[in-house]
Chains A and B, each alone.
Chain A
Amino acid sequence: MRPLLRTGFEYVERGADRIFQPQLNPLVQLGALGFFLFWIVAVSGIYLFIFFDTGVVGAYTSVEAMTHTQWFAGGVMRSFHRYASDLMVVVLAVHMLREFALDRYRGVHWFSWFTGVPIIWMLYASGITGYWLVWDMLAQYVAVVSTELLDWLPIFGEPIARNFLAPSSLNDRFFTLLVFMHIAIPLILLFIMWVHILRISRPKVNPPRGLAIVMLVALVAVSLWKPAVSQGPADLSKVPTNVGLDWFYLPLYPLTDLWSHGAVWALLGGFTLMLAMLPWLPPFRRPKAAVVELAHCNGCGRCVEDCPYEAVRLVTRTDERPFLQQAQVDWALCASCGICVGACPSSTPFRRTAGLKTGIDLPDFPLRTLCERTESTAAALTGPGRVLIFACKHGAGAGRASDTVEVPCVAMLPPSLIDYVISRDLADGVVVAGCAERACYHRLGVAWTKQRFARERDPYLRTRVPRERLTTIWASPTEQHGFAKALADFTTAIATLPPNRPVAIDRLTTSAIETPELSEEVVP
């Protein structure tokens, strides 16, 4: 099911890419959009609260007044409040499905997934208590069904549904309690949203400005076209027989007329339990976490800076080497993406150390193996345009034939490895094929690779690497056609270039040193 879902997402995202461009694609900004919508709901809610009267009669009349007498402000704000809340449900559902489809819910991702489950409950509790406050016919229906459901649980002494038996049962203080709940629950929601992103390095909590403006304009348009309105005043002596349900927040409410309340709770509890346990169903076999080789780590912190999972941190030095700090890996957070290996200045194939060691390495796929595979794959290349491909195993280049070296993430490639391939004439050209820009599996791999090649991020790709001999292709597994075309074009272009020449030894000795503390180990 997951591969099918992933393929579906990729096709939809490619379509959205064409309209929004990768940087504004809403499908890759779902988490940030969730936060943005929360703030819209919060700000509009504060405005509505100023004019809201917490009384049995006053609740409805005050909402009606702000909806109609100040439709241009209160009315629009009410629509913002409702539609942004509903869109939050949509964003949450799609976000959850997408993370599931991309296999980002287990292994090191379990924490974000697990803490996402209470977000669902808090979001629904926030929305449902909000519907009560309006005290129209829908609010009456929601209040009665909600309290009947809650009364099934053995936690309340007096059945709270009795508050809604007859008009005389209800008092103003009940609305004061509801207002308190409708403020407190979203605050708890915000707190859990903060916990949700704790283990993510550089979490996106603000969408790009362009996307935010587009969403605000769309919200204004829809608020004017279809303002959120009440459905007639609540009357407890009558049954709200014909209500317009909010199918995002209340889809299970009609089920209470068909099933027993116990069955509805069983469904909710079972679904929640299944979601919460999903990261361990079945247990995820994780590759071994990155390990630090202290003899080759000078505590520069580049791995800490680049890790997308905050799995690496700097701690006080524990050996005798003359550095203040050293890298330390939290194995529980490490996704074994290898981005730290690509960031380490010791990760250079030009070094002459026994077995090619680096400061931080992947036990299951060490730098030495990467270099050996690079050399053996390059040795098998023939023809006038020998193109070596480094492919991310989550992108379009994965699973190719003999011209490809597959890596967990293209950001695992130290830029010096590209330099090594070209300067040693192992190939005439190099393709770095990563995930699609919008959907980098390890979130930051594409960005870091681009910045390193553009010499904007350490470690830089050296200027001596002829850029016409290096290209990047960002494509998802469903974009095989585009990948093949880009590869063919590059191969043709490489074939027309003059033959690649190895860089002279004397040039290498003067320019290969980029990290002084490691200079004695750098050889041409």
Chain B
Amino acid sequence: MSMGNVTAEPILAVVEGKEYKVGLITQAAKGQLERICEKRAREAVLAGKDQLTDEEFKLAYSSFLDKVASGDFAYGGPTFRRWIDSGLGTLAMVQVLFGVGADEAERLVTQGPAEVSAALRSVFAASFPQAPAAS
């Protein structure tokens, strides 16, 4: 435990010589990530609309809405977990926590993967209680 955990101060990361204040995973940040995850899923359903009949599209969209209602896109939900572990999820996390746009997030991950990964590890350590060590 450190004062950083208590005060939830942002973590300083330097990528390619530029300093970034990386926010911790607050409830608001979780909410932002959930919305991005849900938005991407909605876009995927809408993108396939032309290839589907009206009936098929209604089914696909209704399945998407069922997932929203059942918390699939909520932080920790099954779809959310798969998405956040993917490359797209990492990009979204960098976007939200580094406070940058999608293009900048992609550039950071491409050009400073080690620095970004280290910053995200620190963010997780400061944001979540650690499980007690197994005895």
Same complex origin of A and B: no
